[in-house]
Amino acid sequence: MDLNTVEKGGRNAPTLASIAEKVGVSVNTVSRALRAPNTVRPELRRRINSAMEELNYVPNRLAGGLSSTRSDIVAVVVTSLYYSEFASIVDSLQSALLERDMQVMLANTRYDADQEQRLVRSLLSWRPTAVAIIGVDHPPKVVELLKASGIPIIEMWDTGGEVIDTAVGFDHTAVGAAQADHLIAGGYRRLAFVGSVRENDKRAQKRLRGLEDGAALAGLPRIVTHTDQQGGSSELGERLAHELLEYHPEIDAIACNSDVVAFGVLRALKKLGKRVPEDIGVVGFGDNEAASCVSPALTTIRPNRETIGKLTAEAIFARINGVPPSITLVDWKLVVRESAIRKETR
């Protein structure tokens, strides 16, 4: 970074040198506080931050004068921003990172493998301190890029597969099995799976596999699946439910890959004159804020998003400090509401 930057109009702009002079440290120390805050004592970092605030200093991230090869950025890669599916994770992660003067750079792949590769390559060019990415199933080239980066890679939300470095999440196959177990315990015998299942949405596929395994273990007929690769929405759920029951009127329970899809399923069942839960039970995934507000209230799976975000931040700090890679399982909960409890089983 140029130490002698001058603003337009002839006024001297604050520089690394002016910050260093005010705090009474070297330019290199200020540089490290900007690029690698964890390497500077907290008390000194606070003094440097205070001087930057007082002098209205804004660092230029594109300049080449900072000495460290790493930034204070953590690259966070999610697969969707719809319906705030990962918002609580990112919010919790960001809050924990800010306590260590680290920032989030967010990217959304939209479940597109090519886009995931482009985004990961671009994010790594910023020399982030770490990468936190949704899932453990990635295109081979993405895995190569992440492994070659030499920085901590924290895979979030899923632990059911080969992990690159460190993972914080839960077993989605077990979630599907729990959905099946709950429906079967409620007396349902003809189960179906409905929702948005895109080619690269491996977590939804794992939940479907768990549902199928649960039904097979109980000796039930094979799960009927009716899915679409378009993004999940209540409109999609409504359409798929209508189509499902047109061809499979015997179905008496529907597991959905997301709550928003389940909302559409409930709407379709009401229009078709089906009683929920007496005629057909419905279970979702995600515990959307509206899940307890719809009628009947939706039985669903509640992932512990805030804990995943917090533990991901802790895993990043641990890996930066040389702690070995690890896999952390985070609890989830089956939230039982009216949509999947037959009266005779209450």
Q: Domains in the chain, please, with CATH?
A: 1-69 (1.10.260.40), 73-170+304-331 (3.40.50.2300), 172-303+335-345 (3.40.50.2300)
Do 72 and 128 touch, CB atoms closer than 8 A? no
Model pTM above 0.85: no
List strand residue ranges (DSSP E) for the chain, in order: 73-78, 103-108, 130-134, 153-158, 166-170, 191-196, 224-228, 253-256, 281-283, 300-303, 327-329, 332-335
Closest CA to 281 of 292, 294, 266, 295: 266
Task: Please calculate the CA angle 177-178-183 and round it to the nearest 5 degrees.
Answer: 100
Token pair of 53, please?
A: 């605030």
The amino acid occupying position 48 is I
Full pLDDT tens readout for the chain, 346 residues: 333 333 333 345 678 898 999 999 999 999 888 878 888 899 999 999 899 878 877 665 545 544 455 678 999 999 998 767 899 999 999 999 999 989 999 999 999 999 999 999 889 888 899 999 999 999 999 999 999 999 999 999 999 999 999 999 999 999 999 999 999 999 999 999 999 998 889 999 999 999 999 999 999 999 999 999 888 899 999 999 999 999 999 999 999 999 999 999 999 999 999 999 999 999 999 999 999 999 999 999 999 999 999 999 999 999 999 999 999 999 999 999 999 987 554 4
Residue 316, φ and ψ in degrees, nearest 5 = -60, -50
